C-alpha cells in the first residue's frame, strides 16, 4: 500500500469508528474527517469544499423543502379524509397506512412522509382500541422501502447516481430504481400487513402533545364574510359540516348577543360566531368555511400571517401577569403588539365573549404577533410556548400547488429538459415566490446536518477512489469471494451494506460502499449497475435498530418500543429483501 492509501484508510476507519461510537454528532465527525484529510494532503485544499457544490447536495436540500410544502398542503388533508373511511376496519388499517407512506416516500423525504401519518396512525389506534405499537414500526419500515422506487426517494439513491456517473459517465434516470424497488415494496407490503403480529403485545408509547396538555377545547370568534360557505346554513348544519369537535356556543348579530343559539337558526353574512372547538376543527372552520378569525377585538380584513407575523400557542403559567385580567384590561395589542385569537380554559361551561375572558393559570391561548419578538413577549407575559404544535390558522391553503410543483420538477428532470438539481431548485423558488412557505419555514425544512455530512464526506470518499484505496479493497473482496456465483457476490454486497448501515448514516454508507462495489464489478467483469443497486437497497433497508435511521428513531417513543423489538419485525423483512432483491437485480441489470 502507498502512503496516501494508508492515510486514507486510517482517516476513513477513524471516521467509521467515531460514527459507531456515537458520542459526537455525525456532521461534526464528517467535518473532522474532511479537516484531517486536507491536513494529510489526500484532499487538495482547492477541492476541500467541492462537496458542497455537488448537485446532489443542492438536490437533497430542495427535496426537503418541497416535501415540507407538500406535508403542509391540503392535499394531505384530502387523502386523510379518504383514509378515515377505513378507521373502523381494523384489518385494513396497516395496509392503508403502509401503502400511503410508501407512496409518499417515493417522491418526498421519507422521514417527512412518516411524520405526516404518525399522528393519524395514533388516532386510528385510539379509535379502534388497538396499541400504536402495532402500526408505527410497519409504517417506519414502509417509509424506508418506499424510497427505493425513485431517484429522489432517498439521498442514498442520489449518491449512487452520482457515483455511477463517475464510473460510467452517466447518472441514473428518475425511475431506473423502480423495477427493483416496486418488487420489494409489494413483497414488503404483504409481509408488513400481517407481520406486525411478531411485535410484543405489551408496548405502550408516550402520549401525543395534544393528549399531554389536554387541549381539546378553544373558545374563539369568527366573522362570517360575504364569500363564506357557511351563509344560509343552519347552526346545526355548520357544526356537522366542519370536521372535528366544534360547537357554536354564541352568535353576535347587529350588536345583539345570543348564547346557545337554536340549531335551526341560519347564519348570515356579517355574523360573528362564538365557537368552542379543538385545534383541528378551528383550522377547518377557517379554511373550509372561508371565515375570518377576529381575535379579542374585531378588526376588518385581519391578516394573520406574513413573512414576519405568525401564530403561536402557549400556556399561561403560574405567576403570569395575565392571571385575573381580561384581554381588554391587559391591552395586549397596544402593550405587547399581539392579538388573542383563541383561549381554552378548564371550566368549559363558561360562554363569555373572547375579549371578556378572565385568564387563569393553565389556560391555553393562541396569539398572533411578530415571530421574531414572540419568545420575549411570551416570557414577559409569563407564558410557555407549546413548540411541539404547528398551528397554521388563517394561512392560505394550497391544496394541489405543492404537488403540482413537485410533478413538474420531476417531469422536467425525466425528460432531460433540465438537470434534476436545477428543476428542483426552480420548484423551491416557486414555493418562495408564491408564499406557500415563509422564508424561515423554508430554511427550517432543510436538515443542515445532512447537508454538512454530504458536503464534507464527498471529497473524503473521493480520495479513497483517487488514491486507489477502493480498488485495493475491491480486489481483496474479489479474492475472498472467488468461486462464488454472481448471485452470491451480489447477496454478499447487499448483506454487508445492510450490516454497516445501522452504525453509519445511510448516505455515509453509500459513499463508503459504492466505490468498493463498483470496483468489484469491474474486477469480476460484471455490470457495475447491479452492484450499485445492491448497495442502494442495503443502505436504505435498515430494519434492525432504532438508531440507524431517523424514521426508526421517530417511532420509538410513541410506539413504546425497546431496542430489541426492531429485529423481531426487521430481521425477517431483511431476509425477504435479500431473497427478492437479488434475483430482481440480476433479471433487470445482468
pLDDT at 334: 76
pLDDT at 347: 53
Question: Which tens digits make up the pLDDT trace of 207-250?
Answer: 444 444 344 456 678 889 888 989 999 988 888 877 666 778 78
Give the dihedral of Cα atoms 55, 58, 60, 66; nearest 10 deg: -130
pLDDT at 395: 53
343, β-bridge pairs: 219, 365
314, β-bridge pairs: 365, 385
Q: Show me where the domains of the chain are located.
A: 211-385
pLDDT at 468: 86
Cell of 434: 408564491
3-state secondary structure of 106: coil
Give percent above pLDDT 70 in the chain. 84
Cβ pair 224, 273 in contact under 8 A:
yes
The pTM assigned to this predicted structure is: 0.65
Cβ pair 572, 195 in contact under 8 A:
yes
* Average of per-residue pLDDT across 397-403: 74
**E strand or H helix at 293:** strand 292-293
pLDDT band at 388 (very low <50, low <70, confident <90, very high): very low
Residue 411 CA to residue 417 CA, distance in Å, equals 9
pLDDT at 435: 86
Q: Which CATH number fits domain 211-385: 3.40.50.460, 3.20.20.70, 3.30.70.1450, 1.10.357.10?
A: 3.30.70.1450
pLDDT at 353: 57
Phi, psi of 276 (to 5 degrees): -115, 125
365, β-bridge pairs: 314, 343
Chain centre distance of CA 554:
10
Residue 285 CA to residue 434 CA, distance in Å, equals 24
Residue 532: name the closest of 571, 581, 468 by CA: 581
Provide the 8-state DSSP code for 507: H
pLDDT at 342 over 90: no
Mean pLDDT of the chain: 81
pLDDT at 577: 96
Question: Which tens digits make up the pLDDT trace of 252-310?
Answer: 888 787 766 888 899 999 998 888 776 667 777 887 888 887 754 433 333 344 556 66
Amino acid at each position: 500500500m502507498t502512503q496516501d492509501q494508508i492515510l486514507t484508510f486510517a482517516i476513513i476507519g477513524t471516521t467509521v469508528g467515531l460514527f459507531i461510537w456515537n458520542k459526537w454528532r455525525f456532521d461534526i465527525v464528517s467535518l473532522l474527517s474532511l479537516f484531517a484529510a486536507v491536513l494529510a494532503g489526500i484532499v487538495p485544499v482547492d477541492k476541500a469544499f467541492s462537496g458542497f457544490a455537488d448537485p446532489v447536495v443542492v438536490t437533497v436540500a430542495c427535496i426537503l423543502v418541497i416535501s415540507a410544502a407538500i406535508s403542509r398542503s391540503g392535499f394531505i388533508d384530502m387523502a386523510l379524509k379518504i383514509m378515515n373511511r377505513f378507521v373502523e376496519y381494523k384489518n385494513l388499517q396497516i395496509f392503508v397506512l403502509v401503502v400511503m407512506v410508501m407512496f409518499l416516500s417515493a417522491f418526498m423525504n421519507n422521514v417527512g412522509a412518516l411524520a405526516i401519518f404518525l399522528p393519524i396512525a395514533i388516532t386510528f389506534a385510539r379509535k379502534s382500541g388497538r396499541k400504536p405499537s402495532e402500526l408505527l414500526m410497519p409504517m417506519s419500515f414502509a417509509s424506508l422501502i418506499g424510497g427505493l422506487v425513485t431517484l429522489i426517494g432517498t439521498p442514498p439513491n442520489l449518491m449512487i447516481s452520482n457515483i455511477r456517473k463517475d464510473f460510467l459517465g452517466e447518472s441514473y434516470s428518475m425511475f431506473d430504481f423502480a423495477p427493483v424497488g416496486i418488487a420489494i415494496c409489494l413483497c414488503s407490503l404483504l409481509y408488513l400487513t400481517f407481520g406486525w403480529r411478531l411485535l410484543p403485545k405489551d408496548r405502550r408509547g408516550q402520549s401525543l402533545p395534544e393528549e399531554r396538555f389536554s387541549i381539546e377545547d378553544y373558545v374563539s370568534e369568527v366573522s362570517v364574510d360575504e364569500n363564506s360557505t357557511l351563509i344560509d346554513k343552519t347552526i346545526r348544519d355548520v357544526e356537522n359540516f366542519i370536521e372535528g369537535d366544534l360547537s357554536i356556543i354564541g352568535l353576535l348579530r347587529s350588536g345583539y348577543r345570543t348564547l346557545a343559539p337554536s340549531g335551526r337558526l341560519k347564519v348570515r353574512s356579517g355574523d360573528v360566531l362564538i365557537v368552542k372547538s379543538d385545534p383541528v376543527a378551528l383550522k377547518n372552520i377557517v379554511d373550509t368555511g372561508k371565515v375570518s378569525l377576529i381575535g379579542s377585538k374585531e378588526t376588518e380584513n385581519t391578516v394573520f400571517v406574513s413573512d414576519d407575523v405568525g401564530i403561536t400557542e402557549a400556556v399561561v403559567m403560574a405567576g403570569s401577569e395575565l392571571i385575573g385580567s381580561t384581554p381588554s384590561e391587559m391591552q395586549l395589542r397596544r402593550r405587547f403588539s399581539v392579538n388573542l385569537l383563541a383561549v381554552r380554559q378548564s371550566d368549559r361551561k363558561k360562554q363569555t365573549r373572547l375579549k371578556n375572558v378572565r385568564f387563569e393559570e393553565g389556560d391555553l391561548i393562541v396569539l398572533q404577533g411578530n415571530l421574531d419578538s414572540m419568545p420575549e413577549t411570551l416570557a414577559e407575559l409569563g407564558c410557555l410556548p407549546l413548540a411541539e404544535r404547528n398551528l397554521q390558522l388563517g394561512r392560505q391553503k394550497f391544496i394541489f400547488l405543492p404537488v403540482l410543483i413537485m410533478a413538474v420538477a420531476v417531469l422536467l428532470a425525466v425528460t432531460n429538459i433540465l438537470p434534476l438539481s436545477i428543476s428542483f431548485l426552480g420548484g423551491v423558488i416557486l414555493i418562495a415566490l408564491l408564499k406557500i412557505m415563509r422564508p424561515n419555514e423554508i430554511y427550517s425544512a432543510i436538515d443542515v446536518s445532512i447537508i454538512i455530512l454530504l458536503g464534507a464526506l464527498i471529497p473524503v470518499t473521493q480520495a479513497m477512489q483517487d488514491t486507489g484505496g477502493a480498488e485495493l479493497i475491491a480486489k481483496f473482496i474479489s479474492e475472498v469471494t472467488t468461486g462464488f456465483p454472481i448471485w452470491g457476490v451480489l447477496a454478499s454486497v447487499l448483506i454487508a451494506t445492510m450490516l454497516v448501515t445501522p452504525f453509519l448514516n445511510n448516505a455515509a454508507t453509500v459513499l463508503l460502499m459504492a466505490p468498493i462495489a463498483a470496483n468489484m464489478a469491474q474486477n469480476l467483469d460484471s455490470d457495475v449497475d447491479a452492484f450499485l443497486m445492491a448497495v442502494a437497497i442495503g443502505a436504505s433497508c435498515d430494519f434492525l435498530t432504532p438508531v440507524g435511521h431517523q424514521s426508526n428513531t421517530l417511532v420509538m417513543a410513541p410506539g413504546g418500543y425497546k431496542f430489541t423489538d426492531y429485529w423481531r419485525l426487521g430481521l425477517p423483512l431483511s431476509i425477504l429483501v435479500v431473497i427478492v432483491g437479488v434475483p430482481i437485480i440480476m433479471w433487470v441489470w445482468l
